[in-house]
Structure formats: C-alpha cells, structure tokens
C-alpha cells in the first residue's frame, strides 16, 4: 500500500471509531472538558447526527449540481448566450449572501428544521458548480466539436455523447468544492434545529465545553478530508477516461 | 458525381468564395490548393453545409444538398479535418464506429468494419482497437481520423489539410496510403491543401484558388505545363516545373528496346526517379524492369525530349 493509502485507511478507521465508540476516546478529550462536566457528547448518537449531516449535504449538493449544470448547458447554447451575464450574477449573489442570513430569512417561511439549511446549502453550492460547468462547456476542443457536427450528430447527441463526457472532470471538481463547503456550512444549520454535527459543537460552545467542540470539529473535518480525497480520485479516473490524462502507462 | 454550381459565400461585405463551379467525378481525387485565406475551407464546408452558401448549389448524384436535412447529409459525407478531431474519451474502435452507430448498423457489422479499416490502414486491430487517441502517435491518430471518415462508405470524403500536422516522411507515406486506399475502395475525395506538391501528387484534378475564385481547374499535368495566370505559375514554382512534370509521368511510356548497365528502375516509377538514377550513377540510360524482368531501357535523351516537348 502507498503512503497515501495507509494514511487514508488510518483516517477512515479513526473516523469510524470516533462516530461509533466515542466513549473510547474519553481519556483523550478529558483534559479539555470542564471539571466534573461530561467529556463525551451522548445526548444523541453521533452516528445518527453524522448520517443526517451527510444526507443534508448530499441532497443540497445533488440539487445544486442538477440546477447549476442545467443552467450552464442552457447558457452555453447559442440561443441562451444572452442569459449568461444574468445567470452569473444570480449564482454569485447566492455565494455572497452569508449562510447565516439565508437561515434567518428562510426560517420565517420554512420554519425550523432541515429545510432552511437545505436552502442555504443549495444556494451556496450553486456557484462553484455553475462556474466550472460553464467554463468546461465553453472551452471544449473545437476540432472535436467540429468533427461531431461534421459527421451528422444531432444537438442532443453532441451534448450527451461528446460535450458532457468531456466536461465531466471539470464539472466534478466544482461539485467537490461545493460538497466540501457544504460539509462545513451544514454545522450552523443546528442553530435552526437541523440535525447536524453542528449540534455537538454548539452544545460545547454553550456550556464552555471545549471537549465537545473538538469532538464535533474533528468528525466534520475528517468527513471533509476523506470525501474530498475520494472525489479527487474519482475525478482523476474520469479525466483519464476523457483522455485528458493521456497517460500511456494508464 | 458531385456538381458544385456557382457557389458563393459572402460574410458581411467580403466575398470569401466567389461563384466557384466544378464537377468532381465519382472515384476520383480532386485537390483544392491555394494560399491561406483563399477560401478553401469555406468551399469545402459548404459541401456538407457546415457553412450555408449565400448562393449557388451543390448536387450529389443529381440531388440538391439544400433539400437534404443537414444531419442526414453529413452522415453520407465523410469529413476528416486537420488535427483529426478524434473523440478523446472514446476508444479507437468507438471513434471509427461513430457514423455507423449514428446510422444504426448492427453491432457485429460495425465490429467487422472497424477491424477491416484498421487492417487497411496498417494498424493491427487487436493492438489498436481498445486504445484511446492519446495513446497513439500523431500519424496513427491521423489514420484513425481518415478511417473514421471512411467508415460508413460515404458517397464523398472531404479532407481539410489532413496531413498538415505530419512530418515530411510520415506525410509522404500517408499520401501514398490514401492513394492506394482510394483506388482500392473507389472513393470520391475532395481534399484541401496549401501544398502544391501534395496537390500534384494526389490529385486526378487540381483546383487552384486565389482570393475566393477558382482560377484554374484541370489535371495536374495541365496545371504544371500551362498555368492559367501568374499566380498559378508562382504556386507551381517556375524553377520546379520540369521536375514536377517529370514526377507525374511514369517510365512505362518511354521504354525503348535495348540494354543498359546498372540497377534497373521499375516501369511504374516516375521519369523523375529515372532521371535521378541516371544523374546519380553517371549513366545515359538505365534498364527498366517489370515484375523483376528487364523489359528495355530508358535514356536521358528520351526524358529530356519529353519535357521539351511539353513546354
Ligand atoms: N465565419 C466567418 N466570418 C467572417 N469571415 C470568415 C468566416 N470564416 C472565414 N472567414 C474569412 O474567409 C476567408 C477564407 O477563409 P477560409 O478558412 O476558407 O480560408 P482557407 O483557404 O481555408 O485558409 P487556410 O489555408 O488558412 O486554412 C478568410 O479571410 C477568413 O477570414
Ligand atoms: Mg483552411
């Protein structure tokens, strides 16, 4: 196994242990807990918090990917070019709006719980995917596109068989960015009663319990690192298939 | 037969292709040659309607292309471009299969066609079928590009500077291969180049373009021997003309009985080859062979006579 493989396995095992058997880590976190206070967060199972945290990010990112890629496809067609500046502005605004403000605005409409968080994560996830998809779709090799047109492929055939597969690695890089941002941002969803790992961190902040903060932060951080790494490797695989890797040894 | 009938393309105020007419006979190679910006690519792209003509029309076997839906028209016309334009995310086999797939050929027929073409282009199917374009040399990519354009046995093959990116030696080989394959398949080809040498070597007919106009169109011998104007003469290159002419004429027609010393030349070789054999070895005549047997000789005088006679 390579050094990277060893590290990856070690981190995965650490994460699984932290989520399933948090009490085993009590001696490690004890120095950070207040005197006679609890060391390990056990009001709710960390597994169920992790699953709902990941589920929320997955749902928001999938939705953002679907909308952003569709939008990018539309504005890179000749007929949609006029809407390009407008859609860029919109997705940029989505990004500059602080997620806390989105939560505050969404709660009166959607109530407490997962929905406002989903909206915030979705808006936050749009921009990186849209920008990447638009760049990828408008910088495809012109000769390949010309060949596709010249051999009599229809518009949809060109999109499905040529443009999207060739743009896939760059689009996926945008999705990766959006997922990682989402994993971190989802923690503040706990302030509006969404069930995320933020609950552990916020409980720690409210009771001055650094042990909780460390615990929650460590789990979220490990998820982010491992998911990021998995997506990078998936991208490399797809890029090689798309010919960008050009690795003869491949 | 492809008939190009007073076809014109105007962008804004500039006429890029100006009333060009020519007929391309089935089973022949027509080479369009001209300087950069003379409208060659535009002319070619009007044939498969990647560019819509401003006026004039193109007929393929009598059928007006304007009346055929573009995607169906293009599936009948092979198109090979400089830099090949292969799909980087598809294997060699899938690239070659592109048009047959669009046409809905059955799988086994496509597989057989792919292997047949790879063999024809000197690429072992088992070794190349499953490679990606990035895993091929430039010359191999080029051949796959041409094979892809030929895959569905199109009525017509359009080639835009297909050998532009190749080094001179590979380029020469690719030209010979194309000639051989064209003769074997009986394909009709319109090829664009800015290289007069290539035009003379490959064309049954050569069309010379200048500033959007077709200034001369005829067999290569005629272009070399009787350039229509100063531009064509310059393209042909005055100093090169005798040699160009010699390279077009096979030894076969000037063989006379008699003996000569030294290594023989094949009767299919050009007069240019025979001349260079004479000069290189200091002989006044060289033996000519057919299938390994000497059938006569060719003399320096005969070669000289042939060029003077032409001029
Ligand atoms: N879409 C377009 N709009 C305006 N002008 C164009 C367009 N396409 C080509 N032209 C012009 O038409 C002229 C002929 O172009 P074309 O590509 O046919 O030349 P070419 O003979 O193929 O040249 P080269 O050998 O450099 O490829 C050029 O001056 C070019 O600038
Ligand atoms: Mg050109």
Give the predicted TM-score (pTM) of the model: 0.82
Examine residue A52 and state whether it is found in any structural domain, yes or no: yes
Q: Residue B309: what pLDDT?
A: 55
* Ligand nearest, relative to CA of residue B32: 1
Which residue has 């990078």 as its token pair?
Answer: A232
Q: Residue A191: what pLDDT?
A: 86
3-class secondary-structure state, position B103: coil
* Residue among A153, A165, A245 minimizing CB distance to B102: A153
ipTM of this complex prediction, to 2 decimal places: 0.80
Q: Any idea what DSSP says for residue B270?
A: B
Convert the pLDDT of each residue in A61-70 to its tens digit.
999 999 999 9
**Enclosing domain of residue A212:** 44-249
Class of residue A9 by CB neighbours under 10 A (exposed 0-12, middle 13-18, buried 19+): exposed
Check CB contact of A139 with chain B, cutoff 8 Å. Answer: no
Examine residue A6 and state whether it is found in any structural domain, yes or no: no
Examine residue A207 and state whether it is found in any structural domain, yes or no: yes
Examine residue A133 and state whether it is found in any structural domain, yes or no: yes
Check CB contact of A77 with chain B, cutoff 8 Å. Answer: no
Q: Residue B238: what pLDDT?
A: 67
Report how far apart, in Å, the C-alpha atoms of B266 and of each of A15, B248, B263, B269, B289 are.
78, 15, 10, 5, 5
- Pick among 3.30.470.10, 3.40.50.970, 3.40.109.10, 3.40.50.300: CATH of B2-237: 3.40.50.300
B252 Cβ neighbours under 8 A, 6+ residues apart: B267, B268
Strands B213-218 and B265-266: unpaired
Residue A250 has pLDDT above 50, yes or no: no
Examine residue A120 and state whether it is found in any structural domain, yes or no: yes
Convert the pLDDT of each residue in A141-169 to its tens digit.
999 999 999 999 999 999 999 999 999 99
Q: Is the separation of the CB atoms in B117 and B151 below 8 Å?
A: yes
Q: Kindly identify which residue of chain A lies nearest to residue B48, measuring between CA atoms.
A: A150
Q: Residue B174: what pLDDT?
A: 84
Q: Is the separation of the CB atoms in B79 and A150 below 8 Å?
A: yes
Contacts of A242 in chain B (CB under 8 A): 88-89
- CA angle (B119 as vertex; B113, B125 as ends), nearest 5: 80
CATH code of the domain covering residue A86 = 1.10.3720.10
For the beta carbon of residue A45, count every other beta carbon within 10 angstroms: 13
| Cβ contact A150–B89 (<8 Å) | no
Examine residue A25 and state whether it is found in any structural domain, yes or no: no
DSSP B113-161: HHHHHHHHTT--HHHHTT--GGGS-HHHHHHHHHHHHHTT--SEEEEES
Structure tokens at A142: 């012109």
Contacts of A241 in chain B (CB under 8 A): 89
Number of domains in chain A: 1
| Cβ contact A151–B99 (<8 Å) | yes
* CATH level 3 topology of B249-310: CBS domain Like (3.90.1280)
- pLDDT per residue rounded down to tens, chain B (311 residues): 999 999 999 999 999 999 999 999 999 999 999 999 999 999 999 999 999 999 999 999 999 999 999 999 999 999 998 777 899 999 999 999 999 999 999 999 999 999 999 998 889 999 999 999 999 988 899 889 999 999 998 989 999 998 887 788 888 888 888 998 898 889 999 999 998 989 998 999 999 999 999 999 999 989 988 899 999 988 888 667 778 888 888 888 888 898 888 888 888 888 888 888 888 888 888 999 988 888 889 988 888 888 775 55
Q: Residue A243: what pLDDT?
A: 61
Q: Residue A248: what pLDDT?
A: 37
CA distance A166 to chain B (A): 7
Check CB contact of B291 with chain A, cutoff 8 Å. Answer: no
Q: Cα dihedral sign for B176, B178, B184, B186?
A: negative
Strands B265-266 and B189-193: unpaired
Q: Answer yes or no: is the C-beta of B311 below 6 A from any ligand 1 atom.
A: no
Examine residue A13 and state whether it is found in any structural domain, yes or no: no
Which residue CA neighbors atom 25 of ligand 1 most closely? B36
Convert the pLDDT of each residue in A163-205 to its tens digit.
999 999 999 999 999 999 999 999 998 888 889 999 999 999 9
Maximum CA extent, chain A: 76
Strand ranges of the sheet holding B293-299, from the earlier edge strand across to the other edge: B265-266, B285-290, B293-299
For residue B202, the CA-to-ligand 1 centroid distance in Å is: 24
How many CB pairs below 8 A link A and B?
Answer: 72
Domain boundaries, given as residue ranges, for chain B? 2-237, 249-310
Q: Residue A245: what pLDDT?
A: 42
Q: Is the separation of the CB atoms in A18 and A218 below 8 Å?
A: yes
Which of B76, B89, B98 has the highest number of chain A CBs within 10 A, making it the mutation to test binding with A?
B89
Count Cα neighbours of B237 within 13 Å in the Cβ-side half-sphere: 10
Distance from C-alpha of A55 to C-alpha of A43, rounded to nearest angstrom? 20
Examine residue A102 and state whether it is found in any structural domain, yes or no: yes
Check CB contact of A242 with chain B, cutoff 8 Å. Answer: yes
DSSP B216-269: EEE-HHHHHHS-SSHHHHHHH-GGGHHHHHHHHSBGGGG-BSS---S--EETTS
Distance from C-alpha of A227 to C-alpha of B104, rounded to nearest angstrom? 41
């Amino acid at each position: 196994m390579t050094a990277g493989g060893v590290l990856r396995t070690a981190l995965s095992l650490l994460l699984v242990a932290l989520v399933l058997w948090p009490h085993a880590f009590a001696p490690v976190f004890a120095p950070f807990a207040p005197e006679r206070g609890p060391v390990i967060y056990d009001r709710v199972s960390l597994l169920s918090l992790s699953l709902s945290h990941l589920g929320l990010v997955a749902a928001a990112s999938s939705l953002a990917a679907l909308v952003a890629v569709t939008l990018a496809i539309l504005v890179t067609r000749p007929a949609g070019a006029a809407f390009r500046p407008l859609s860029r502005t919109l997705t940029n605004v989505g990004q500059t709006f602080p997620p806390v403000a989105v939560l505050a605005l969404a709660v009166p409409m959607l109530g407490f719980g997962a929905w406002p968080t989903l909206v915030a994560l979705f808006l936050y996830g749009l921009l990186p995917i849209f920008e990447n998809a638009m760049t990828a779709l408008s910088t495809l090799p012109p000769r390949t596109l010309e060949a596709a047109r010249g051999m009599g492929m229809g518009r949809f055939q060109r999109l499905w068989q040529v443009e999207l597969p060739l743009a896939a690695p760059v689009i996926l890089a945008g999705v990766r960015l959006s997922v990682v941002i989402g994993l971190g941002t989802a923690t503040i969803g706990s302030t509006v009663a969404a069930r995320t790992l933020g609950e552990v961190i916020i409980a720690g902040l409210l009771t001055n319990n650094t042990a909780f903060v460390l615990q929650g932060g460590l789990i979220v951080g490990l998820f982010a690192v491992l998911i990021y790494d998995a997506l990078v490797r998936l991208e490399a695989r797809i890029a090689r298939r798309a010919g960008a890797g050009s690795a003869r040894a491949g | 037969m492809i008939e190009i009938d007073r076809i014109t393309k105007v962008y804004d105020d500039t006429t890029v292709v100006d009333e060009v007419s020519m007929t391309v006979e089935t089973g022949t190679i027509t080479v369009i040659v001209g300087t950069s910006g003379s409208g060659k690519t535009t002319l070619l792209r009007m044939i498969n309607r990647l560019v819509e003509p401003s006026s004039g029309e193109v007929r393929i076997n009598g059928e007006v292309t304007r009346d055929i839906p573009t995607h169906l028209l293009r599936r009948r016309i092979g198109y090979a471009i400089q830099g090949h334009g292969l799909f980087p995310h598809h294997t060699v086999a899938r690239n070659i299969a592109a048009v047959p797939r669009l046409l809905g050929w059955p799988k086994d027929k496509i597989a057989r066609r792919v292997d047949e073409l790879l063999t024809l282009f000197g690429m072992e199917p088992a070794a190349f079928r499953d490679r990606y374009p990035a895993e091929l040399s430039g010359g191999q990519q080029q051949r796959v590009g041409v094979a892809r354009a030929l895959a569905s046995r199109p009525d017509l093959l359009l080639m835009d500077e297909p050998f532009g990116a190749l080094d001179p030696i590979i380029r020469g080989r690719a030209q010979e291969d194309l000639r051989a394959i064209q003769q074997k398949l009986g394909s009709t080809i319109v090829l664009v180049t800015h290289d007069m040498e290539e035009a003379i070597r490959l064309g049954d007919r050569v069309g010379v373009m200048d500033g959007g106009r077709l200034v001369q169109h005829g067999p290569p011998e005629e272009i070399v021997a009787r350039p229509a104007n100063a531009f064509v003469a310059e393209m042909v290159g005055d100093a090169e003309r005798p040699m160009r002419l010699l390279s077009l004429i096979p030894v076969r027609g000037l063989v006379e009985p008699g003996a000569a010393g030294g290594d023989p030349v094949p009767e299919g070789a050009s007069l240019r080859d025979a001349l260079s054999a004479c000069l290189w070895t200091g002989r006044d005549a060289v033996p000519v062979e057919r299938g390994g047997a000497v059938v006569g000789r060719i003399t320096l005088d005969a070669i000289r006579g042939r060029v003077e006679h032409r001029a």
